[in-house]
Amino acid sequence: MNILRWNCRGAMKPNFKKTALDLIEWHQPAIFVITETRIDGPRADFIIRGLPFDGAYSTETIGFARGIWLLWRSDLVEMDILSATKQEIHTIVQVRSLSQSWLLSAVYGSPRFRERSLLWNNLKILSVRHNLPWAVMGDFNDVTREEEKSGGNGINSRRVFAYNECMDFCNLIDLGFSGPKFTWSNCRDVSDVIQQRLDRVWVNSGWKLLYPDAIVSHLARISSDHCPLLLSLQSNLGHRGLRPFRFQPIWLSHDGFPDIVREAWEGHSQDICSAVANFTLKAKNWNKEVFGDIFLEEKEVDCKTPWCRESSCK
C-alpha cells in the first residue's frame, strides 16, 4: 500500500489537477495528503470531487495560505479523524487487509517559528495520550541538522533544537529516504540556489515493527518547489521491478519529440536531476500515446519465439 504526500503550492494552479492525476496514476496511493492548497470551502470541494478518492477531509486556510487535504480510498482503508488544526490532521487508519489500527498525522508546519511551536506542543500532547503505532508525515518547514540545508544563511540553532526536542519527546525516528537529498528548492540560478530537506516521515517503534520494510522515496519535483514523498508500506525488495528506462531511437523520427524535450527542461535548466526525471516521465507517457507500449510489444514478440525460456511463457 502506498501513501503519497505533496506540497502543491496552490490547488488553483492550471496544471494542478493534471499533475495530481499523473501522480495518482503512477503511484496508486490509498491515501493522498496534499498540503499548501491555499483554498478551502466550496472551491476546494469542487476540485477534490475531480480526484479519484471517495474519502476526504480538509482544513481551513489562512487567507490564501496553507491548507491540508487528506484524501483516501475507502475500499482500501477506513479513516477515523481524531482532530485537526491549520497545521495538522490526526486520523486513525484501519487498513482493510489488516486487523491492527495505527495513527497517521498529516502535517504542514507554519513558516513562522512561533506558530510552529504550537505544532510541536500538539504533537507532544498527542504522544502521551495514545500508544498506537504512529506515523507523522509532511512539510515541517525546518531541518534537523546543518547537512540538510545547502546555500543561503546558516541554520537557526533555536529552531533546530525545538524540532529535534519534539521528535525526541515523542519517541519518533526518521524513516530515511531514497532519491534526491533535498526536498525543497527556491528554484533560483546556481549562484543563488537554496535547498533544504523540509519534507519527511517520522515513525515510532510500534509503527516500524508493524511495517519493517516500509520505505520513503523523494520523487522528482513537478509543478512545485517541493518533491512529493512516497511512503510504500511494503518495499519491492525481492520482487521483479520495473524495466529500467530506455531511450528509443524511433522517437527521433517523430515531429512531436522535440516538444517533449523542451517541456521537460522548462523550469529545470538549473537542476539536471529534476530535468532528467521529468523527461523520463513525459517520454514514457508520450511513447504509450504515440507508439504504444514498445517495451510490452518487445516482450510479446520474444515470448512467441520457440526458444523463449521465460517462466511466464510456459
The confidence score (pLDDT) of residue 252 equals 76
**Predicted structure pTM score:** 0.74
Closest CA to 213 of 174, 172, 171, 175: 175
Partner residues linked to 184 by β-bridges: 196, 226
- Residues 50 and 24: their CA atoms lie apart, in Å, by 12
Strand, helix or coil for residue 261: helix
Could you tell me whether strands 134-139 and 101-108 are parallel, antiparallel, or unpaired per DSSP bridges?
parallel
Enter the C-alpha cell of residue 73.
480510498
The confidence score (pLDDT) of residue 94 equals 94
Regions of the chain short of the pLDDT cut 50: 235-242, 293-314
Asked if 229 contacts 34 with a C-beta cutoff of 8 angstroms, the reply is: no
Taken in order of first residue, the domains within the chain and their CATH numbers are 2-232 (3.60.10.10), 249-306 (no CATH)
Closest CA to 146 of 155, 133, 138, 136: 155
The confidence score (pLDDT) of residue 244 equals 56
DSSP track, 174-210: E---BS-S-SEE----GGG--EE--EEEEE-HHHHHH
- Residue by residue, what is the 3-state secondary structure of 1-16? CEEEEEECCCCCCCCH
- Residues 258 and 256: their CA atoms lie apart, in Å, by 6
**Cα 194–chain centre separation:** 20
The confidence score (pLDDT) of residue 310 equals 38
Enter the C-alpha cell of residue 59.
482544513
